[in-house]
Structure 1
Amino acid sequence: MDQERTRWNHNTHYHRLVIATIPDGAGRALDVGCGEGMLVRELRRHVPEVVGIDLDQVSIDQAEVQNNDDAGSEFVLGDFLTHPFEPASFDFVTSVATLHHVDADIGLSRIRDLLRPGGVMCVVGLARAQLRDFPLELASVLAHRYFLLSRKYWQHPSPTVWPPPETYASMRRIAAELLPGARFQRHLLWRYSLTWTKPSC
């Protein structure tokens, strides 16, 4: 775990944002696209039961090795879109740098359906920039160089997809249509966040 505290990249930078959105009293959480399980292990400090799911066999194998026989963590090799999770069975669902691997409408709808009433989703994602995004793109370049003055970039082992199929503008629109009241924010380091609480009734 101490070694993990030194791991830094554009995704781990926003793990704290994810942790901060866990709803009070959450008993079960899901990390979509968990990779080798770093965020699952962080979530376990706050949630009694955490499931991580990923399509990549190598990543799941690494997650299992690093699990340290934690009975509160489960790692699933599979597609979160089709895996037979019970509907409305999670209090918290997160996805970091994974949503652009699937159709955004389908992915967000699936996460929405997996949430219990009152549950919270927190997506940290990537999207394509347009001309209007240039100022924040430039700021991200400068921020990246700044952080590298004190950190060594950790290259995660999971598969990547580039370029993202959706723009920031289209992701904002999709979120507004599927998740009324969702909060969409642009961030440095080429990321956005999307947070939403499922209505209780």
Structure 2
Amino acid sequence: MAPLLHRVLDALDRFNAAHPWDHNAHYHGWILRQLPRQFGRALDVGCGSGDLARLLAARATGGVDAIDSDPAIIARARESTPAAPVTFTLAEAPAGLPTGPYDVITCVAVLHHLPFARTLARFRQQLAPGGTLVVVGCARARTPGDHLLAAVAVPLNAAVGWWRNRGRTAPRPQSMTAVTRPPEMGFPEIVREARRVLPGVRARRRLFWRYTLVWRADN
């Protein structure tokens, strides 16, 4: 049975490599639904190629600051955003965050590269009263619930990849050039630390190896 399982997993890996899609962009619509239709200033931490920052710019009356520690991806983001009110800056969180306050702060698939509690505390300092922090993060699978969600996500990941790549019409994800590392914290530890720093934070496990945090500064 074990060799058959390995062959199935290898086949899925090859299929997924041939049908890539952006797991982070999958949550952009959900992020926008957590935010007001219009707000003042926004900050996108770990902006990558700038897709989310451009979406935020359509609602942000005070403009969007977007930071990333990858020089190549910041250059691509600037080239792709000639007219939108987004300022892309090469910087590393939490020390390099621009000065707030911000009405919205977003952080997608970056927090596991940063000092977790210290970064959340810095976000809290930079958030304006009534502002919203939205995090989409990556956690290490440790609990039975984590492994069950991962098992469910495997065939769904292949199905979404096939759908988005039909005829190669879907844009292929842009690769990061900076060094990445896998997450070390499990979801229960993430929830404990997040609730300590951000009382009242809403935390949920998500499909496709992600979790979410939503916190409003009036908590």
AA matched with 1:26: F
Q: Could you list the runs of 5+ residues in structure 2 that have no partner in the other structure?
A: 1-19, 166-170
Alpha-carbon deviation of 1:160?
A: 5.3
- The question of 1:53 aligning with 2:67 is answered yes
TM-score in terms of structure 1 length? 0.89
Alpha-carbon deviation of 1:93?
A: 0.1
Q: CA–CA distance in 2 between the matches of 1:40 and 1:8?
A: 19
How far does the alpha carbon of each residue in 1:8-28 deviate from its partner, in whole angstroms, 9 at most, with x for none? 411010001111112354111
Alpha-carbon deviation of 1:73?
A: 1.0
State the match for 2:216 in structure 1: 197
State the match for 2:29 in structure 1: 16
- Cα root mean square deviation, aligned: 1.8
How far does the alpha carbon of each residue in 1:66-111 deviate from its partner, in whole angstroms, 9 at most, with x for none? 11233x2111111231226324x10000000010110111111111
Query: Is the CA contact 2:21–2:161 (under 8 Å) kept in the aligned structure 1?
Result: no
State the match for 2:17 in structure 1: none
Q: CA–CA distance in 2 between the matches of 1:144 and 1:136?
A: 12
Work out which of the residue numbers 26, 30, 39 in structure 2 matches 1:26: 39
Secondary structure (helix, strand or coil) at the match of 1:148 reads helix
Q: CA–CA distance in 2 between the matches of 1:60 and 1:52?
A: 9
State the match for 2:107 in structure 1: 95
Work out which of the residue numbers 145, 150, 157 in structure 1 matches 2:163: 150
TM-score in terms of structure 2 length? 0.82
Q: CA–CA distance in 2 between the matches of 1:107 and 1:84?
A: 10
Q: CA–CA distance in 2 between the matches of 1:125 and 1:108?
A: 12
The sequence identity of aligned pairs, in percent, is 35
Q: CA–CA distance in 2 between the matches of 1:112 and 1:154?
A: 34
Greater fraction of residues in helix: 2
State the match for 1:106 in structure 2: 118
Q: Could you list the runs of 5+ residues in structure 1 that have no partner in the other structure?
A: 1-6
Query: Is the CA contact 1:108–1:178 (under 8 Å) kept in the aligned structure 2?
Result: yes
Secondary structure (helix, strand or coil) at the match of 1:157 reads coil
State the match for 2:5 in structure 1: none
Aligned residues: 192
Q: CA–CA distance in 1 between the matches of 2:95 and 2:143?
A: 36
- The question of 1:175 aligning with 2:194 is answered yes
Q: CA–CA distance in 2 between the matches of 1:53 and 1:104?
A: 17
Structure exhibiting the larger radius of gyration computed from Cα positions: 2
Query: Is the CA contact 2:38–2:59 (under 8 Å) kept in the aligned structure 1?
Result: no
